[in-house]
Amino acid sequence: MSFEEVKTRLDIAGQSHALRFWSELSAEERAVFLGELSELDAEELKDHCRVAAEAAKRASGDEERLDSRMEPVSPEFIGSVCKSDQETLKQWEDEGFLQISENKVAVLLLAGGQGTRLGVPYPKGMYNVGLPSGKTLYQIQAERIRKVQQLASEKYGSSCTVPWYIMTSEFTLEPTEKFFKENGYFDLDPSNIVMFEQRMIPAVSFDGKIILEKKNKIATAPDGNGGLYQALVDYKVLEDMESRGVQYLHVYCVDNILVKLADPVFIGFCVSKGADCGAKVVEKAYPAEPVGVVCRVDGVYQVVEYSEIRPETAEQRHPGGELMYSSGNICNHFFTRDFLREVAQKFQRQLKQHVAIKKVPFVDEEGNLVKPTKPNGIKMEKFVFDVFQFSKKFVAFEVKREDEFSPLKNADGAPVDTPTTVRRSLLSQHYHWALQAGAKFLDEHENPITPILRTSLDVDPPAICEISPLVSYFGEGLVKLLKEKNLKSPFLLNENNVKTLVQN
């Protein structure tokens, strides 16, 4: 596209200021900038900037309260790990493993975030939280995929594959691809790992103007994890799923160290209920906990942010004492492929745009780079869970927080969701798995360590124990390995020392 054509587009959109440094650019810089600007549609850019500025003004006032329009999820649409009997859980698990064994299940990772709050210059999935094994989040997740494939294959006697779809962004695609290649794709078949990018959209000033981060570059940000639905279209991901026979997707965020990828119990529950859309939830820790709540608003399912609910509503309880609005959202979802296609083709443009007010580095009128000390820009994003409203059969599935949800969001020093807290979550889980299997722990002097049934994330568990996902996906199969064994802390159980344990 020529300079004149791009200039005309920007004039139509009311964004001609983007070219104010054109005369100062080199030929190479002009070519790069022209390529970026050529991808912008004039009317879409105009609408985007207008909507962003208007949304920011609304966001500066009080959040809309939805209390009068809310009602909790009906009990018949909720499954629960805690409240279901073992026979029912086994039926769901068997159904899930059956679907996995028939190559109908894939996992889809949302990995477009930059990890700004964590304070690292690389994707979160590459982060090592300090486990004895030194494994990164990506490696842990890859090994869980390998194990769940193995369990399904052994159960139903047929080799199977769980494809891994990974949605990245402009910031995370290249380093993620490089990391996977350098690590041999963690012994997964590279052809079954499909990476694709979500769109980047311009950051906008409070007066509705796109922000320049360089003289020849617009400041942009990923369009939120709700950008998934457009990305599925842009990269023909749905067609790839269809060609592989995938019918069910487990969608999750990269930062949850406890995530059960392709969880057969969750998959089996959703399939058994005939659901096209499902959400894992955890019970809120306390009424004012700052998490979104899965509920119904005006008769349709959605996630209501904690800021949209009055304190007295959050405090409401059932006659038995349980919180009425207790289903905390953890961004862990089930979708049928048909539902994803319907959303991508019919509904994704209807998704709500959420406002994030941020500090966006920019170049001033003289072309100097400025790092603002207070928020100066608007980033718009969509959320993956805003499609619940389009579901014909929505279900929720309650799991134990300590078993399945510990997100990595902040650097150490913050009170929650840090490398230290997520490491302790995993080590605490594995410590309890070992105790339940009949193991006993010894300290460095061979003295018995008194077992503790409940551990806190404020301190490490009494004994350090890490169990490779390649040995146990979710605590299964450990009795034959660990019963009546004396384990010296720290203890790392991996595929290399399994035989030694059995022989001893």
Confidence at residue 420, expressed as pLDDT on a 0 to 100 scale: 96
Predicted model pTM: 0.93
Residues 93-109: tens digit of each pLDDT: 999 999 999 999 999 99
CA-to-CA dists, residue 47 to 17, 55, 212, 353, angstroms: 17, 12, 18, 12
Give the helix ranges, DSSP H, for 102-172: 137-156
* CB-based contact 228:385 (threshold 8 Å): no
Residue owning tokens 């609005």: 325
Give the separation between CA 381 and CA 379, rounded to whole angstroms: 7
Confidence at residue 61, expressed as pLDDT on a 0 to 100 scale: 58
For residue 305, name the pLDDT band (cuts at 50, 70, 90): confident
Count CB-CB contacts under 10 A for residue 299: 8
Mean pLDDT of the chain: 93
For residue 8, name the pLDDT band (cuts at 50, 70, 90): very high
Residues 250-294: tens digit of each pLDDT: 999 999 999 999 999 999 999 999 999 999 999 998 998 888 999
- Specify the pairing of strand 277-283 against strand 327-336: antiparallel
Residue ranges covered by each domain of the chain? 74-205+221-285+326-353+385-400, 419-503
For residue 392, name the pLDDT band (cuts at 50, 70, 90): very high
Give the separation between CA 497 and CA 500, rounded to whole angstroms: 5
Confidence at residue 320, expressed as pLDDT on a 0 to 100 scale: 87
- Helices and strands (H and E) in the chain: how many: 15, 24
Residues 212-230: tens digit of each pLDDT: 999 999 999 889 999 999 9
Confidence at residue 142, expressed as pLDDT on a 0 to 100 scale: 98
pLDDT at 448 over 60: yes
pLDDT at 53 over 70: yes
Domain 74-205+221-285+326-353+385-400, what fold? Spore Coat Polysaccharide Biosynthesis Protein SpsA; Chain A (3.90.550)
- Specify the pairing of strand 164-168 against strand 105-110: parallel
Confidence at residue 349, expressed as pLDDT on a 0 to 100 scale: 83
Domain 419-503, what fold? Seminal Fluid Protein  PDC-109 (Domain B) (2.10.10)
For residue 11, name the pLDDT band (cuts at 50, 70, 90): very high
Handedness of CA 389, 162, 231, 210 (dihedral sign): positive
What number is the average pLDDT over the span 391-395? 96
Residues 177-201: tens digit of each pLDDT: 999 999 999 999 999 999 999 999 9
